[in-house]
Amino acid sequence: MLRIGAHTSIAGGVHNAVEEQLEYAGNCGQIFTHSPQVWQDPNIGDEEAERFRELSEENDVGPWVIHSSYLVNLCTPKDDLREKSIDAMQKEVDAAAKLGVPYVNVHLGAHTGAGVEGGLDNAASALEELEIPDGVTVLIESDAGSGTKLGGTFDELAAILERCDQDLDVCLDTAHMFAAGYDLSTPEGVDETFAAFDDQVGLEHLQCVHLNDSKHECGTNKDEHAHVGEGLIGEAGMRAFVNHDAAEGVPLVLETPTEDGKSFAWNVERVRELHEA
């Protein structure tokens, strides 16, 4: 079964994310446990956590992914930011266990002068400090690769998995990959990208995809999402991606914009159309 859903809100209680997902006709999804723009602990009560788990199971919505705060920077050389990032990630994986969510997604962050190797070492050692509950996996998300941010290349993703003793996996973002220089606009480009990922990281580590089209050209390192099939990846590339053998069974989570009269529901339906084509 195709697993396609959207990033949904927990406003009014985390269980409301399931109701919102159903409105979009989604059957998997992603949430923040709090505002991603501030340092804040998840505040999820036992009853709403139970309701979230029950609604998800009753409606066959899953798997879910928790996206960590945008402030988390695992690559940082700054001690205070490192400690805040580790603490925030620990609270996210604990919240995931409470909710029965199997994945916590995180960007590696920026090395801000530590250098690529130093940043990768910092990230791997920060992840080592987490006590990850059974049933929860941290996913390293591919990045658009601007500035000193890491995770834009498959080599960098592979380096984290190799340097860290934790059982980590990967979330690929199609818009980020495209921005980082992986051309997904043609079936041939999709084939080549999946082959490169398999060679450098391993397809067995691909556990989630953020399915977004791009408003900017391949290789620009500019991260701005577009509706599925209506950006510069385009319909042919998106169709090839969602129908590729390497994507079979992998949950697809939309982070597409709400504009031009099109919302998550439009994009969910669009992906299903492309998948069936």
pLDDT tens-digit map of 50-70: 999 999 999 999 999 999 999
Query: Positive or negative CA dihedral for 7, 11, 16, 20?
Result: negative
pLDDT above 70 coverage of the chain, percent: 100
How far out from the chain centre does Cα 236 lie? 23
Strands 213-214 and 225-226: antiparallel
What are 135's two structure tokens?
Answer: 């049933």
What is the distance between the alpha carbons of residues 59 and 82, in angstroms, rounded to a whole number? 39
pLDDT at 199 over 80: yes
Q: Could you tell me the pTM of the whole model?
A: 0.97
In the predicted model, what is the mean pLDDT of residues 200-222?
98
What is the distance between the alpha carbons of residues 29 and 18, in angstroms, rounded to a whole number? 8
Q: Domain-by-domain residue ranges, the chain?
A: 4-276
In the predicted model, what is the mean pLDDT of residues 241-247?
98
**What is the band of 276 on the pLDDT scale with cuts at 50, 70, 90?**
confident
**What mean pLDDT value characterizes the chain?**
97
Strands 225-226 and 252-254: unpaired
Q: Under CATH, which number does the domain 4-276 receive?
A: 3.20.20.150
pLDDT at 144: 97
Give Rg (Cα) of the chain.
18
pLDDT at 232: 98
Instruction: Give the model confidence (pLDDT) of 131-172 as tens digits.
Output: 999 999 999 999 999 999 999 999 999 999 999 999 999 999
